[in-house]
Amino acid sequence: MRNNSGMTIFELMVVIGILAILAGIAIPGFIGWLPSYRLSSAADDVQSTLQNAKLRAIRENAIVRVNFDFGNDTYVAFIDNGANADNGTQEADEVMVKSGQMPAGIDLQDSGLGGAVRFTRRGFPDVSGDIIIDNGTRTQTINLTLGGSSSIQ
């Protein structure tokens, strides 16, 4: 009597063939979707940093600054209340709120902020303007208003 449990090599090859065809269809779509996902994720991170800096300024009753390095595509938010308070530079005694770097292929560009945003003790920024995040084919713009709100467009 034959035992019919398991698969034959032919059935296994058919399953592997079907999986290969499905992977061939799905992978190009995934690769095309990845740059848009990175762009949206980077914009969300920058906006989150701005909102976090605003809330920390209110909560800590201190000046919080977000400095952007557009050449290196990085940013850092810190409480600017150390020995040299409100000088725009992070010293060793000043607490970092958040920092980040753009993913590969994503560029951080200035369009009116001048490289830094200073949030007052009440959470109002000293400048308004746009931060442009670009992946070479699409851009997303983060607009910061003098009221302290930011939106992604």
In tens, the pLDDT along 42-75 reads: 999 999 999 999 999 999 999 999 999 999 999 9
Q: Look at residue 81 and tell me whether its pLDDT is greater than 90.
A: no
pLDDT of residue 113: 81
pLDDT tens-place string over residues 91-123:
888 899 999 999 989 999 877 788 899 999 999
pLDDT of residue 1: 56
2 falls within a domain: no
Residues 51 and 40: their CA atoms lie apart, in Å, by 16
20 falls within a domain: yes
- Domain with 68, as residue range(s), is 9-152
103 falls within a domain: yes
Total number of domains in the chain: 1
Q: Which residue type does 141 have?
A: T
**Three-state secondary-structure class, residue 27:** helix
1 falls within a domain: no
74 falls within a domain: yes
3 falls within a domain: no
The CATH number assigned to the domain holding 20 equals: 3.55.40.10
41 falls within a domain: yes
pTM of the model: 0.79
From residue 152, give the alpha-carbon distance in Å to each of 5, 50, 97.
57, 12, 21
pLDDT of residue 27: 84
4 falls within a domain: no
The band of 141, judged by pLDDT with boundaries at 50, 70 and 90, is: very high
Decide the pairing of beta strands 107-111 and 74-79.
unpaired
